[in-house]
Amino acid sequence: MSISAEFFPAWASPPVDTVRELAQRKGLTQAAIASAFGVAEQELPRFLSGDLPINQAWADRLAAHIGATPRFWLARESQYRQALQSIHDDTRAWLSSLPFADMAKFGWLDATSTAADKLRHAFAFFDVSSVDEWREGWLSEHAGLTAYRTSPIFTTQAAAAAAWLRQGELVASRIRTEQWSRTDFERLLPELKPLTRVEKPAEFIPQLQRKCAECGVAVVIVRAPKGCPASGATRVRNGQAILQLSARYLRDDSFWFTFFHEAGHLILHEDRLFLEWSEKRHLDEKEELEANDFAGKVLIAPSQEAALRALPHDYKTIMRFARNLSVSPGIVVGQLQHRGLVPLDKLNFLKKRYSWG
């Protein structure tokens, strides 16, 4: 059997794996393998552990008893050690990219200081057993974040975004919902507008979650950790739709427009993850414009568009108009500003400010 001296493993497979393979092909016994290592048979497991490096003397003996050349075995050993170091460096880089401080602060995982404990907690949090498995689950062609690969913020913030999304999935898994129904959810949305007039999130969030759960939608509010600029996300998993929002909204117009924008993604584009960055992006521009248009039409029905544009810009008239539409005055102000009918620094006192517990 001819084996090239060149060996480039794509994984950290120890040289003893090749020893076993060649020995099996040749029908060598354990005693013969022990002889190749120059050790007693009872001591063989220690040498097959892969912990001890192959030196020149071992390489000569392996070439003589197992096959290949001393150069091959020394190259096999060298590249194995390089692969181990590469995996070690990759793991360290991955750990450093995760927002551990905020993840512990928010109660997503236990606080820890050692790298070994961090790795154990991170694997448990993401339900993976290796960094490669994590990468396959979040950054591969089949993963939700793939669409954001070309974003200039992707390389530095993907891990933080993945942590935020994963926590959203964990929270959603604790919400009992019906089977996801796009038809029922679309029918429900206009009925949710009166909730925009409720001042306290602690009062309207439970009602919002309950009503949406009846249509198969888990609405989750998850604080964004450091490094994650996401403001909202949607996806459908195992018959449950997840509508995830961050707690970065301090005004009612921002919160509710984002909610209905995300709802628009579920109605119009339910086939994959949509992730909203706080920075202005050009990814998914067509779908984002469609979701914006959808949200605007739910909040202000097209039949009311002319009345909105003709609306006098005094707060009493706006409050009456908002009450007739069953939305908060802040939303009307926000829509007037969005259309350029009111300056961004005017009438903002009509917007309710939220305090997130």
Q: What is the DSSP string of 211-234?
A: HHHTTTEEEEE-PPPTT--EEEEE
Q: Is the pLDDT higher at 141 or at 349?
A: 349
The single-letter DSSP state of residue 147 is: G
Can you give the pLDDT at residue 283? 53
Helix (H, G, I), strand (E, B) or coil at 355: coil
Can you give the pLDDT at residue 156? 58
Can you give the pLDDT at residue 152? 43
**275's tokens:** 């992730």
Could you tell me the pLDDT band of residue 349, with boundaries at 50, 70 and 90? very high
**What percent of the chain has a predicted confidence (pLDDT) above 90?**
50
Can you give the pLDDT at residue 2? 36
Residue 331 predicted with pLDDT over 80: yes
Residue 83 predicted with pLDDT over 80: no
Q: What is the DSSP string of 4-35?
A: -S----SS---HHHHHHHHHHHHT--HHHHHH
Can you give the pLDDT at residue 141? 60
Residue written as token pair 């750990």: 95
Could you tell me if 164 and 222 are in contact, meaning their C-beta atoms sit under 8 angstroms apart? yes
Which residues have a Cβ under 8 Å from the Cβ of 99 and sit 6 or more positions away? 159, 160, 163, 225, 226, 227, 228
Can you give the pLDDT at residue 9? 37
Can you give the pLDDT at residue 247? 77
Which of 77-91, 106-120, 268-282, 290-304 reaches the highest mean pLDDT?
290-304
Backbone angles phi, psi at 77, to 5 degrees: -65, -45
Domains of the chain: 15-95 (1.10.260.40), 121-350 (no CATH)
Give the count of beta carbons closer than 10 Å to the beta carbon of residue 147: 16
Residue 145 predicted with pLDDT over 80: no
Q: Is the pLDDT higher at 53 or at 126?
A: 126
Can you give the pLDDT at residue 54? 81
Q: pLDDT tens digit string along 287-310?
A: 889 999 999 999 999 999 999 999
User: First-to-last CA distance in the chain?
Assistant: 69
**What percent of the chain has a predicted confidence (pLDDT) above 70?**
88
Please give the single-letter amino acid code of residue 292. Answer: N
Q: Picking from 49-53, 79-83, 229-233, which range would have the lowest pLDDT averaged per residue?
A: 49-53
User: What is the average pLDDT across 169-198?
Assistant: 97
Average pLDDT of every residue of the chain: 85
Can you give the pLDDT at residue 93? 84
Which of 112-126, 138-152, 184-198 reaches the highest mean pLDDT?
184-198
Q: What is the pTM of this model?
A: 0.77
Could you tell me the pLDDT band of residue 10, with boundaries at 50, 70 and 90? very low
Q: Is the pLDDT higher at 45 or at 304?
A: 304
Could you tell me if 318 and 333 are in contact, meaning their C-beta atoms sit under 8 angstroms apart? yes
Can you give the pLDDT at residue 81? 80
User: What is the average pLDDT across 37-58?
Assistant: 77
Q: pLDDT tens digit string along 222-270?
A: 999 998 888 899 999 889 999 999 878 889 999 999 999 999 999 998 7
Backbone angles phi, psi at 270, to 5 degrees: -80, -5
Q: Is the pLDDT higher at 338 or at 61?
A: 338
Q: What is the DSSP string of 163-216?
A: HHHHHHHHHHTTS------HHHHHHHGGGGGGGGG---HHHHHHHHHHHHHTTT
